[in-house]
């Protein structure tokens, strides 16, 4: 089944590590919501034959939306798409936006998964990341979320300059104690056009070497593994049965339709994305024009490359699926690659698929650009 993605391009401020498109002008929210609903109404007809089992509110900061705004979007979705009653309906939230009544309202609207941008439980680290919330706030919100949600995820950003694994463990241990079912753990990246990148260039801060990053990644992965989380995607860990249904669509080459500025879609071997500018998006929709900026149909070679690279980031390449899609036997064609990856402990071959090890995950891009 397919996924629906709603991009909520508002944040109350820019974090210094983020180069993603968003607006801080909350006055535009009403115009945005009506444009979003119009986009959904205008395009949904194409997807009447398919069923959806995931809805994901991503951002930006979706928790900035009021109950009624969120509600009206959800209503529009339900009236336009066939959405399974067993769907995973997720929302990304920042700790500072949540209180008990807001959490309850999410539950009431059928939202059944919450992804919380904790990033760290150390106040100095949070200041370094220019986050608005602090440790105390976070702990309170985590307890509230735990009280109402069976399925939720906590985010951590690690490998901050000078950070030791002990520092990271302080945050992880609390995650583990709360028995959170899903953890997303990202190494800090210094994206262009961010304050962090500028500070790095100006030598105000330093960046951990890739060797240190790799050590921290392996330690974190094995620690989470020992405490009951399986490493099912480069940056994702979950207890059994709590993998993100929506995000997994990205890695399993399954269709998803995105709405809102800069939203990405994949449907029938075609990828497209909307303009990222909020103003342009609203204007185009109001002029009854398509908000799509770019659209490409993947040729055989591109779709094979994507399938392989995405599968390797996730739970591995399934030989049967590969053969069905591309009419060739992966095991025969990439016999050498399989041998090299196995003998260097970068991958494991198990019943019907090849999956990267933690060490292999660290080299996923290198492996893909080298062998595929």
Partner 1 sequence: MNKFRNFCIIAHIDHGKSTLADRLLEFTRTIESRNMTKQVLDNMDLEQERGITIKLHAIQMNYKSLDGEEYILNLIDTPGHVDFSYEVSRSLAACEGALLVVDSTQGIEAQTISNLYLAIDNGLEIIPVINKIDLPSAMVDDVSSQILELIGGKKEDIVKASAKVGTGTQDILEAIIKKIPPPKIDNTKPLRALIFDSLFDIYRGVVIYIRVVDGELKEGDEVNFYFSDKTFIAEEVGILKMGRKRTGKLESGNVGYLICGMKDVNDCKVGDTVFSSKQQISEPLPGYQEVKPMVFSGIYPANTEDFENLRDSLSKLKLNDASLTYEPETSVALGFGFRCGFLGMLHMEIIQERLEREYNLNIVTTVPNVEYKVYKTNGEMLVVDNPSIMPDPSMIDYIEEPYIKSQIITPTEYIGNIMKLANDRRGIYKTTNYLDPKRVDVQFEFPLGEIIFDFFDKLKSTTRGYASFDYELMDYRESSLVKLDIMLNGEPVDALSSIVHRDNAFDWGKKLCLKLKELIPRQMFEVAIQAGIGNKIVARETISAMRKNVTAKCYGGDISRKRKLLEKQKEGKKRMKQIGSVEIPQEAFLAVLSIEK
Does 340 bind partner 1 (CB under 8 A)? Our answer is: yes
- Please report how close the Cβ of residue 227 comes to partner 1 at its closest, in angstroms: 21
Residues 274-333 that bind partner 1 (CB under 8 A): 294, 296, 302, 305-306, 309-310, 313
Residues 51-70 that bind partner 1 (CB under 8 A): 58
3-state helix, strand, coil in the chain (%, to 5): 45, 25, 30
The count of residues interacting with partner 1 (CB under 8 A) is 47
Does 239 bind partner 1 (CB under 8 A)? Our answer is: no
Torsion angle, CA of 35/37/41/42, rounded to 10 degrees?
20
Q: For residues 144 and 364, which CB has a smaller minimum distance to partner 1 in the complex? A: 364
Q: For residues 139 and 218, which CB has a smaller minimum distance to partner 1 in the complex? A: 218
- Please report how close the Cβ of residue 287 comes to partner 1 at its closest, in angstroms: 25
Axis-axis angle for helices 29-43, 278-286 (nearest 10): 50
Question: How far is it between the farthest Cα atoms of the chain?
Answer: 58
116, exposed or middle or buried, with CB in 10 Å at 0-12, 13-18, 19+? Answer: buried
Closest CA to 133 of 153, 152, 155, 107: 155
Q: What are phi and psi of 326, to 5 degrees?
A: -120, 5
Does 334 bind partner 1 (CB under 8 A)? Our answer is: no
For every residue of 241-309, DSSP letters joined together read T-S-HHHHHHHTT--EEEESTT-EEEETTEEEEE-S-HHHHHHHHHTT---EEEEEE--HHHHHHHHHH
Instruction: Report d(CA 134, CA 124) in Å as an integer.
Output: 9
62, 95, 117, 258: which one contacts partner 1 (CB under 8 A)?
258
82, 132, 239, 264: which one contacts partner 1 (CB under 8 A)?
264
Inter-residue contact 130 to 15 (CB < 8 Å): yes
Does 347 bind partner 1 (CB under 8 A)? Our answer is: no
- Please report how close the Cβ of residue 20 comes to partner 1 at its closest, in angstroms: 6
- Please report how close the Cβ of residue 368 comes to partner 1 at its closest, in angstroms: 5
- What letter does residue 99 receive in the DSSP assignment? -
Q: Is 231 helix (H, G, I), strand (E, B) or coil?
A: strand
229, 242, 250, 259: which one contacts partner 1 (CB under 8 A)?
250
Does 165 bind partner 1 (CB under 8 A)? Our answer is: no
Inter-residue contact 35 to 281 (CB < 8 Å): yes
Closest CA to 57 of 42, 41, 72, 79: 72
Q: For residues 103 and 362, which CB has a smaller minimum distance to partner 1 in the complex? A: 362
- Please report how close the Cβ of residue 157 comes to partner 1 at its closest, in angstroms: 9
Q: Which helix (H) or strand (E) holds 72?
A: helix 67-80
The gap from C-alpha 265 to its chain's centroid, in whole angstroms, comes to: 14
Stretch that binds partner 1, among 73-81, 165-173, 207-215, 319-327 (CB under 8 A): 207-215
Does 223 bind partner 1 (CB under 8 A)? Our answer is: no
Does 270 bind partner 1 (CB under 8 A)? Our answer is: no
Stretch that binds partner 1, among 93-101, 133-141, 277-285, 339-347 (CB under 8 A): 339-347
66, 68, 210, 222: which one contacts partner 1 (CB under 8 A)?
210
Torsion angle, CA of 215/221/227/230, rounded to 10 degrees?
-170
Does 129 bind partner 1 (CB under 8 A)? Our answer is: no
Stretch that binds partner 1, among 80-88, 119-127, 210-218, 280-288 (CB under 8 A): 210-218
235, 252, 277, 290: which one contacts partner 1 (CB under 8 A)?
235
- Please report how close the Cβ of residue 306 comes to partner 1 at its closest, in angstroms: 6
- Please report how close the Cβ of residue 213 comes to partner 1 at its closest, in angstroms: 5
The site for partner 1 (CB under 8 A) is made up of 5, 7, 20, 58, 186-187, 189, 210-211, 213-215, 217, 234-235, 249-250, 256, 258, 262-266, 271, 273, 294, 296, 302, 305-306, 309-310, 313, 340, 344, 346, 361-370
């Amino acid at each position: 089944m397919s996924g629906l993605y709603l991009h909520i391009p508002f944040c109350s401020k820019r974090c210094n590590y983020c180069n993603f498109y968003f607006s801080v002008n909350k006055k535009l929210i009403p115009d945005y919501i009506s444009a979003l609903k119009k986009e959904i109404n205008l395009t949904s007809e194409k997807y009447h034959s398919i069923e959806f089992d995931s809805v994901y509110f991503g951002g930006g900061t979706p928790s900035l939306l009021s109950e009624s705004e969120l509600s009206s979007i959800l209503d529009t979705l339900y009236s336009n798409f066939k959405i399974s009653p067993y769907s995973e309906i997720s929302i990304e939230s920042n700790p500072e936006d949540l209180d008990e009544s807001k959490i309850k309202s999410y539950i009431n609207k059928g939202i059944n998964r919450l992804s919380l941008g904790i990033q760290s439980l150390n106040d100095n680290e949070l200041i370094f990341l220019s986050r608005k919330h602090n440790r105390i706030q976070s702990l309170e919100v985590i307890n509230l979320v735990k009280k109402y949600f069976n399925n939720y995820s906590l985010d951590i950003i690690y490998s901050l300059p000078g950070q030791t694994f002990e520092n990271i463990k302080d945050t992880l241990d609390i995650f583990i104690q709360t028995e959170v079912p899903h953890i997303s753990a990202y190494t800090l990246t210094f994206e262009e056009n961010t304050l962090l990148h500028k500070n790095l260039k100006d030598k105000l801060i330093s960046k951990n070497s890739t060797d240190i990053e790799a050590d921290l990644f392996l330690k974190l992965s094995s620690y989470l593994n020992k405490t009951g989380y399986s490493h099912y995607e480069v940056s994702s860990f979950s207890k059994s049965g709590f993998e993100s249904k929506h995000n997994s669509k990205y890695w399993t080459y399954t269709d998803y339709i995105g709405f809102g500025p800069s939203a990405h879609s994949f449907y029938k071997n075609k990828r497209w994305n909307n303009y990222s500018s909020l103003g342009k998006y609203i204007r185009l929709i109001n002029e009854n024009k398509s908000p799509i900026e770019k659209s490409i149909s993947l040729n055989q070679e591109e779709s094979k490359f994507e399938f392989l690279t995405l599968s390797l980031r996730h739970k591995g390449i399934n030989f049967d699926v590969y053969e069905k899609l591309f009419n060739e036997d992966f095991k025969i064609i990439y016999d050498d690659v399989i041998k090299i990856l196995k003998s260097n402990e970068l991958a494991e071959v198990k019943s019907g698929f090849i999956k990267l090890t933690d060490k292999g995950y660290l080299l996923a891009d290198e492996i893909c650009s080298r062998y595929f």
